[in-house]
A and B are shown apart, each in its own frame.
Chain A
Amino acid sequence: AQSVTQLDSQVPVFEEAPVELRCNYSSSVSVYLFWYVQYPNQGLQLLLKYLSGSTLVESINGFEAEFNKSQTSFHLRKPSVHISDTAEYFCAIDNAGNMLTFGGGTRLMVKP
């Protein structure tokens, strides 16, 4: 069985500070990895994904995530956050099944 663990349920950070949201997964087969962002009372938006190739993937709004196979991690980072980045972030895996398995989410709270 596969699982996703997001170690931090909430991450408070000041504007323009760097941030890392942690994600670890467990799977017996190779996986695809995703980060989704959910703004209040909205659906999930795909932020970035790792399917194969370069282990570092980037989004258009400055986030990046690095796939580390040996540590089974896919941590999300941003060097300088904005107030508008305040949202809930979900890490998910697809292990060739028919579903995404999600972590519990991390609430990023950016303070002025």
Chain B
Amino acid sequence: NAGVMQNPRHLVRRRGQEARLRCSPMKGHSHVYWYRQLPEEGLKFMVYLQKENIIDESGMPKERFSAEFPKEGPSILRIQQVVRGDSAAYFCASSQNSRETQYFGPGTRLLVL
């Protein structure tokens, strides 16, 4: 049973470009969570999605960031017009149901030049 998949593992963007991060949950999991880890810090919650629905986006920056989890395909975290402060590791986690154990992917490390 494959774990949570994320790609790309590393992403380099110049300021002003767009970044798209993908997450495929574990088989049988329909709940997806995105977290951001800034350098030397713990993980901070960004958004919680179920298929075709955003359930909680209280941790998402108000501008430039968006997330989706379509009926088919992976969940996408999209960052428009990236700035240097967006450089971080972005982790996706999935669970079978709400409030069940979250399993994490390997992360996407975004570097903004």
Contact = CB atoms under 8 A, between A and B. Distances in A.
Nearest to A44: B104
Given A36-B104, A43-B105, A45-B104, A98 B56 contact: yes
Contact of A98 (B6, B41, B43, B48): B48
Central interface residue in B43, B91, B107, by most chain A CB within 10 Å: B43
A32 B44 CA distance: 17
B91 A44 contact: yes
A94 B97 CA distance: 14
B32 to A, nearest CB: 11
A92 B44 CA distance: 11
Contacts of B99: 32, 94, 96
17 contacts: A4-B42, A36-B104, A42-B107, A46-B103, A49-B101, A90-B42, A98-B56, A98-B98, A99-B33, A99-B45, A99-B58, A100-B33, A100-B93, A102-B43, A102-B44, A104-B42, A105-B41
